[in-house]
Chains A and B, each alone.
Chain A
């Protein structure tokens, strides 16, 4: 589990640090980071993560439009401050395994990830 590679995509370095900290607390240690949708695409190909935590609202390329593509290559969990049902439904229809709304509880993040990874 510790070497499960997780790609964290968020334009905020603060958010990435917080997420990483939560995951480290749950025993994960293998992280790759991305700042926008393009980053997410490139790093999914070059790093082959098992799981992608994806923000939606980011500069240049956002998250929503690439879920379909990314979910072919890895499990995708959306983590976004956008909480509307339409957004959740759209993301899931595009192939997201789950959807976490910011602000989140630590346990919620860890449980969702473990569930999606089948742990």
Chain B
């Protein structure tokens, strides 16, 4: 039988079961006497075994089989789950997960014979011990192997898989369908009205009716945009579900006892934000575990709906931030002078001190951040928040020198567009994809200059050329030498309605989704830009506004 058509269903089902295994084993660590958890664990392994065997993924089947045996024995009371066994079980879950993603990417599972054997032996050995009543205490200190495993796991988990699929509730799709149908009706109406414009007899009435029709169109397009944004929402659960395992492993590695409380994982945010959120939260959690909590403590992650944004609060009850030490470190790292530092120590200006904490130069010095209590990667956290037009608020200490609270304010949805990033001289700019017709190479011989204006012949048609360095003279660095090229030039053909123009660029960089941020008030009078965006590397890039650029052409 051709099983390939069941592969997707298999993958998504096994993914869910592996997450269940992780959740349940974490729960079992807290309440080891809970028999029903063992039943669930056994059932999940059993389901994975059956499905994997059916798909002929025999390594997956064998590994889940030995896991099932362990849970079955534990359930019957013939095997005690020591800390060492627990770690191996988690190890096994990770191996299943890795193999599953290999299946997803390459179609071939990974060889897990060694691990399966190891877990099997572990199980039989321990069973014998329990059965023969040899009370051997399993070592509680992490062994070398579990250390390696933790290392591997944590490295792996520094990045959370990008969300490539979203589950959309049927009613949202139905709404989209409804709008699409209305749009079709509206389109036919506008078509027939515009046909009516040609005939003088019907022209006047058509003109009168056109206005409400266009108004309806704009309402429908707004509805459409709203609904599409809604369909992009995914629950925070998608990334939060990773954290219990991560915190457990980190805490165990440092011999700390940390409880993680998560609230509001059902709250939904735009996929792009959720995708980007994983890294910053991991930074904050790691900071709290490494530098905040000393022996025993609690970390909480709480997501809450506010009026038109979401707050995400990450709080710990460890030692708070020692701001004096932050200032001292900043002086040592030459971020501020010692006079400025002394002033800041007296004034305790919160804004000023926070700025230091977020300074990337502060976070590069490992031992400095170690004593300041916080720091590693905070500049990255701030950059993320800025990228999505959010805000970050720090409160520390919360009381009497202890406790730290980071509050991230995140927008509910984003204005996201597909754009082409191009280089023009020393500048990178973004051109909205929706306005791009195509890109072409134009030979020098096909460029004519008429009345000071350049025109290129593209497929037999004259296309006016826009040289951005001439339109925005101030934006570009003064040219020392004219970069006169003899070869063909790269031109991005853009259009709006019937108007077509060619933007001359030096290089096509990439196509990517960007988040539009409005220009600050002071810059909003500048024509030619629709806004700006911050790229992954932190650079701010301007987004071209084709409407005003094209009118610039026709104005000449």
Instruction: Select from chain B the residue with minimum beta-carbon distance to A103.
Output: B53
Is B13 in contact with chain A by the CB < 8 A criterion? yes
- In the bound complex, how far is the Cα of B50 from the Cα of A82, in angstroms? 9
Instruction: Select from chain B the residue with minimum beta-carbon distance to A21.
Output: B1
Within A73-108, the residues touching B (CB, 8 Å) are 80-82, 102-104, 106
- In the bound complex, how far is the Cα of B56 from the Cα of A18, in angstroms? 13
Name which of B2-10, B303-311, B461-469 contacts chain A: B2-10
Q: Is the CB of B1 within 8 A of A102?
A: no
Contacts of B46 in A (CB 8 A): 57, 81-82
- In the bound complex, how far is the Cα of B43 from the Cα of A21, in angstroms? 24
Interface centre among B1, B10, B47 (most CB of A within 10 A): B47
Instruction: Select from chain A the residue with minimum beta-carbon distance to B7.
Output: A14
Q: Is the CB of A102 within 8 A of B50?
A: yes
Contacts of A12 in B (CB 8 A): 13, 47, 50-51
- In the bound complex, how far is the Cα of B49 from the Cα of A6, in angstroms? 25
Q: Count how many chain A residues have C-beta atoms less than 8 Å from C-beta atoms of the other chain.
A: 20
Is B82 in contact with chain A by the CB < 8 A criterion? no
Contacts of A58 in B (CB 8 A): 43
Contacts of B42 in A (CB 8 A): 57
What is the CB-to-nearest-CB distance from B135 to chain A, in angstroms, rounded to a whole number? 30
Is B444 in contact with chain A by the CB < 8 A criterion? no
Q: Is the CB of A57 within 8 A of B43?
A: yes
| Contact for A17 among B6, B53, B61, CB less than 8 A | B6
Bitwise interface map of B from 30 to 50 toward A, beta carbon under 8 Å scored 1, else 0: 000000000010110011011
Contacts of A25 in B (CB 8 A): 1
- In the bound complex, how far is the Cα of B42 from the Cα of A20, in angstroms? 26
Q: Is the CB of B1 within 8 A of A106?
A: yes
Is B54 in contact with chain A by the CB < 8 A criterion? yes
Contacts of B1 in A (CB 8 A): 18, 21-22, 25, 106
Q: Is the CB of B47 within 8 A of A18?
A: no
What is the CB-to-nearest-CB distance from A16 to chain B, in angstroms, rounded to a whole number? 10
Q: Given A13-B9, A13-B13, do A18 and B54 touch, yes or no (CB 8 Å)? A: yes
- In the bound complex, how far is the Cα of B3 from the Cα of A88, in angstroms? 27
Q: Is the CB of A17 within 8 A of B54?
A: no
What is the CB-to-nearest-CB distance from A52 to chain B, in angstroms, rounded to a whole number? 18
Q: Count how many chain B residues have C-beta atoms less than 8 Å from C-beta atoms of the other chain.
A: 18
Contacts of A22 in B (CB 8 A): 1
What is the CB-to-nearest-CB distance from A95 to chain B, in angstroms, rounded to a whole number? 23
Chain B interface mostly helix, strand, loop or mixed? helix
Contacts of A81 in B (CB 8 A): 46, 49-50, 53
Bitwise interface map of B from 335 to 376 toward A, beta carbon under 8 Å scored 1, else 0: 000000000000000000000000000000000000000000
- In the bound complex, how far is the Cα of B16 from the Cα of A13, in angstroms? 12
Is A65 in contact with chain B by the CB < 8 A criterion? no
| Contact for B56 among A13, A15, A103, CB less than 8 A | A103
Instruction: Select from chain B the residue with minimum beta-carbon distance to A62.
Output: B43
What is the CB-to-nearest-CB distance from B450 to chain A, in angstroms, rounded to a whole number? 66
Contacts of A106 in B (CB 8 A): 1
Within A35-77, the residues touching B (CB, 8 Å) are 57-59
Interface centre among A12, A102, A106 (most CB of B within 10 A): A12
Contacts of A102 in B (CB 8 A): 50, 53-54
- In the bound complex, how far is the Cα of B1 from the Cα of A57, in angstroms? 25
- In the bound complex, how far is the Cα of B6 from the Cα of A105, in angstroms? 16
- In the bound complex, how far is the Cα of B46 from the Cα of A21, in angstroms? 22
What is the CB-to-nearest-CB distance from B169 to chain A, in angstroms, rounded to a whole number? 18
Q: Is the CB of A18 within 8 A of B53?
A: no
Q: Is the CB of B47 within 8 A of A11?
A: yes
- In the bound complex, how far is the Cα of B177 from the Cα of A12, in angstroms? 31
Instruction: Select from chain B the residue with minimum beta-carbon distance to A80.
Output: B50
Within B188-232, the residues touching A (CB, 8 Å) are none
- In the bound complex, how far is the Cα of B5 from the Cα of A22, in angstroms? 13
- In the bound complex, how far is the Cα of B1 from the Cα of A104, in angstroms? 11
- In the bound complex, how far is the Cα of B42 from the Cα of A80, in angstroms? 14
Q: Given A13-B9, A13-B13, A58-B43, do A18 and B3 touch, yes or no (CB 8 Å)? A: yes
| Contact for A15 among B40, B43, B50, CB less than 8 A | B50
Contacts of B50 in A (CB 8 A): 12, 15, 80-81, 102-103
Q: Is the CB of A14 within 8 A of B49?
A: no
Contacts of A13 in B (CB 8 A): 9, 13
Contacts of B10 in A (CB 8 A): 14
Q: Is the CB of B43 within 8 A of A14?
A: no
What is the CB-to-nearest-CB distance from B104 to chain A, in angstroms, rounded to a whole number? 15
What is the CB-to-nearest-CB distance from A80 to chain B, in angstroms, rounded to a whole number? 8
Within B1-30, the residues touching A (CB, 8 Å) are 1, 3, 6, 9-10, 13
Q: Is the CB of A18 within 8 A of B6?
A: yes
Contacts of B56 in A (CB 8 A): 103
| Contact for A14 among B40, B51, B61, CB less than 8 A | B51
- In the bound complex, how far is the Cα of B49 from the Cα of A29, in angstroms? 28
Interface centre among B46, B49, B50, B51 (most CB of A within 10 A): B50
Interface centre among B3, B10, B42 (most CB of A within 10 A): B10
The 7 closest A-B pairs by CB, nearest first: A81-B50, A103-B53, A102-B50, A14-B9, A103-B54, A14-B13, A57-B46
User: What would be 27 A-B contacts, judged by CB atoms less than 8 Å apart?
Assistant: A11-B43, A11-B47, A12-B50, A13-B9, A13-B13, A14-B6, A14-B9, A14-B10, A14-B51, A14-B54, A15-B51, A17-B6, A17-B9, A18-B1, A18-B54, A21-B6, A22-B1, A57-B46, A59-B40, A59-B43, A81-B46, A81-B49, A81-B53, A82-B46, A102-B53, A103-B54, A103-B61
Which residues of B pack against A, CB within 8 Å? 1, 3, 6, 9-10, 13, 40, 42-43, 46-47, 49-51, 53-54, 56, 61
